[in-house]
Chain A
Amino acid sequence: MPQHRIGSHTLIFPTRPRILSGAAVVGPKEGRGPLSQAFDLILEDALWGQKSYEQAERAIFQEACQRCLKKAGVATERVQALLGGDLLNQIMAASLAARELSIPFFGLYGACSTMAESLILGSILVDGGYAAPVLCAAGSHYCTAERQYRFPLEYGNQRTPAAQWTVTGAGACLLSGEGKGLACAAMATVGQVVDMGVRDANNMGAAMAPAAADTLAHHFLDTGRTPQDYDRVITGDLGRVGSDILHELLEEKGFALPEGGYMDCGLSIFDAQEDIHAGGSGCGCSATVLNAMILPRLHSGEWKRVLFMATGALLSPTTSQQGETIPGVAHAIVLEGGK
């Protein structure tokens, strides 16, 4: 029997791995949003001097990692593992960045849930005494996601009201077993893949909401906690539609989210004036908001304890065209203030 588990889906980290530092690098549209002041770097344009958008995505992933290490004052050679991923086929942005960084690398794919997935696995490595410090990162780029999942950038089409806008950005956190951190990881609930039959690739919030509700319900059942035990229950990129559905589903399960006790990263990153429809999405969405907003508030003591849950829609253009439904997954990690 594993010792560090409670209930069916939840792990406990007895040593409480610290997040020593975090960094967020974003594109210009994100840089005009409400978190503008909190990002470590805002790109002047989406290509950022690279030959292709894929290379730009690699560059911002790498930049987020390097800035995170610099803030913690840790040399790259000392990092014992890099866990991360992105939305490109074969997670090439993370892999190419890992080639430059020369850190032992675990490539992850959890669609937009990657940031929470990397934090959970990183915490396991640190807590188990297998590696420290560990770098956890995720990123995405609007221009590469569009061409991969949808249409060429200059193609003239209309987006549906439920469609979301992929965040251009990357976030990285450095985890360690010791030292004073911004926050620490106390426990995590690993999500299972849930599919409620949504086929509309332009409504990913609806595809992911059942997985989000499932993971949260497991978390509350496993731990005996309620949403009131958290200053914020935070979802990655459910957007307007997915968040509304999540509230409804949780109420049915008996875990209604209190007023003001919930936020969605996809609804926090962009200015309301931007043409983003139902909100932001992509691995970079939760990764950048975590580092620009959530960790600073935990560090300052404004929030004592949050449940950070990134949500992923596990679709590919091929399976979508073949009529397959869109499975969702959501991973949650409990983050507590460092003080």
Chain B
Amino acid sequence: MKNSMLLAVCASVATFATVQAGEVAPADVAFDDYGAVEMSLTGVAGDAENGANVFKNRKLGNCLACHANSDMASQLFHGEVGPVLDGVSDRWSAAELRGILSNSGNTFDGTIMPAFYVNDGYVRPLEKFEGKSILTAQQVEDVLAYLQTLSE
């Protein structure tokens, strides 16, 4: 009981986009030959509700900037740069989606899609983003949990 409370406190003070104990660091994410990632980045089940927030938040995932998503029809302005995400979980497995979210370049060579769980190797990143990934490991897992609710 005490331990789980301590964990909860730790999670709530987790600072943005820095690697936490028990998480897989961006450099250690194991991609298979097709860019899929089997293992959870955190070992903590994703929270689909928070994932939906990360998905639409312009300062976090901002996934709607490029992808239309009927499940969020109440949100204004869906982008057209990437594929529509309706029924995305019917087309891709959890491992494939985790890989695409973490570093889509491993699945789609040369894609415009940013890598959401890479914190190194960027050219001229703004100082405040240096050494940081766009999303935290748990945010990636949360968005994944949300995407898994999108089936037709």
Partners in one complex: no
